[in-house]
Amino acid sequence: MSNFFKFSGTKTILTAGVLAFALGAAPAKADNVTDAMIGAYNSSGLLEQNRALLRAADEQVAIAVSRLRPIVQAALDIGRDYSRSVTSGVGASSGRGSTDASVSLTLSWLLFDNGVSQLSKAAAQETVLATRQSLVDVEQAVLFSAVQAYVGVLSQQDIVALRRNNLRLLQEEQRAANDRFEVGEVTRTDVALAESRVAQARSNLINAEGDLQTAKAVYEQVVGRMPGAISVYPPLPGRPGSVANARANALRTHPSLKAQQHTVKARELDATGALRAMGPSLNLNVRGSHTEAKDTSDTGRSASVGLELSQQIYSGGRLAATRRAGVAQLDAAKGNLITIQRGIVQEVVSAFASLEAAEASLIASNEQVRAAQVAFDGIREEATLGSRTTLDVLEAEQDLLDAQTARLQARANQSIAAYQLLQAQGLLTADNLRLGVEQYDPELYYNAVKSAPAFVTKRGQDLDRVLKALKKN
């Protein structure tokens, strides 16, 4: 029972030992968004944390199962008694002591508790299902962070290249202004304007290079390594034809909504269990003991078997308060379900609108760049003929730079919005994207522990080895 990861798209199961080797090896440098998401999935501490929380939730099912099984306890009791007597009138006294030892074995088995234990087990199972969906939601967040980090590096690279090209063009304009000043075509003011724009462009380039280093640091933090050669924007995932379809997808598949639905069911079972706890319980009690007295060599044996039917008549109001608290927690879970549902709808509508706006902005910015390029080329040519000033050329260059920057931002926004819409629908998962990763399989650990194996059993010993292997990852 050391298998916890499966390869996407297949039924291949990798052992925990192989997984440790795979995760410990140095991954290949990312050159596309898929590699970035794979790196984030394989190295995310947040995913590891929530997988451990899921295993803890699995164990709660085992704990609930254990309440339906007999409890065996052994006890060893060793004691020495002292006594002293005084003879009246004589004043003589005498003392004696005895040492007794006893060993006992007790079995207690809950036979009936009005269904409380079964309800507790069912509630724990619903909590496991809710925690699994929460893990999927965390997976979505990790993968989306990888997309953001990838696009962030790529867009900053493009901005640096744009700023560097802008600096080169302005330096050419500065040289041209100096040449024209030498022959008296322009004034010293034109030269100063060109020098000012060059200095500003150089400052902008330095800032852009700093932003690129920051983006790379974010990438390393998210993906687990520095980026390699990145040159291609992410392919846009398919999207639904309308916002109504996107909403329907989200309400059907979003893990946050599914998690809260299971949480509501768990709170319902808890509330019912609190009511059932007011009923009677029946226990089977078996006890055997052996006693020896060291000083007298006396021995004794005893055994007893009995059924105990009990019912709490009054507990200071604790049972009633527990019942009311359970109902209140159920109401809170239902209210949170409504909040989550509405929040998901809002996220879908917002993401859909953002994607449409980004697409329209990209179309407009492409046209803006085309027009700004034509204007710049024309003004620059006219300046060589003396019909345009240096300021006209510099302003046209700035307009072109602004248009190109806006286009880069629109392209980045389009990529981010497309994956954000996928996340809002609950579809940004390793399984849905068919990432080539070793996916964590929550069923395997649950199936291993749901029967509550003890340490002394083979399954319990296998689980102990698995936990040690997981600690090494």
Please say if the pLDDT value at position 469 is more than 70: no
Cα 32 from Cα 40, distance rounded (Å): 13
390: tokens are 């240096």
**pLDDT confidence bin for 22, thresholds 50/70/90:** very low
CATH of the domain at 246: 1.20.1600.10
Which residue range(s) make up the domain with 298?
A: 3-472
Given a contact cutoff of 8 angstroms between Cβ atoms, the answer to whether 397 and 170 are in contact is yes
What's the structural domain count of the chain? 1
Q: Describe the crossing of helices 255-276 and 116-182 by its angle, rounded to 10 degrees.
A: 160
Q: How confident is the model at residue 27 (pLDDT cuts 50, 70, 90)?
A: very low
- Answer whether 219's CB lies under 8 Å from 153's CB: yes
Q: Is the pLDDT of residue 352 over 50?
A: yes
> How much is the average pLDDT of 298-326?
88
Q: What is the pLDDT of residues 33-80, one digit of tens each?
A: 999 999 999 999 999 999 999 999 999 999 999 988 999 999 998 887
Q: Can you give the pLDDT at residue 1?
A: 38
- What percent of the chain stands above pLDDT 70? 88
Cβ 65 vs Cβ 122: under 8 Å: no
pLDDT of residue 165: 87
Asked if pLDDT for residue 309 goes beyond 80, the answer is yes
Residue 400: Cβ-neighbour burial (10 angstroms; 0-12, 13-18, 19+): buried
Question: What is the dihedral angle through the alpha carbons of 192, 197, 198, 203, rounded to the nearest 10 degrees?
Answer: 130
With 0-12 / 13-18 / 19 or more C-beta atoms within 10 angstroms meaning exposed / middle / buried, residue 208 is buried
Whether the predicted pLDDT of 384 surpasses 60: yes
For residue 420, CA distances in Å to 147, 254, 347, 399, 414 come to 9, 13, 9, 31, 10
Pairing of strands 299-310, 13-15: unpaired
**What is the average per-residue pLDDT within 407-428?**
94
437 and 38 in contact (C-beta within 8 Å)? yes
* Contact of 52 with 466, CB cutoff 8 Å: no
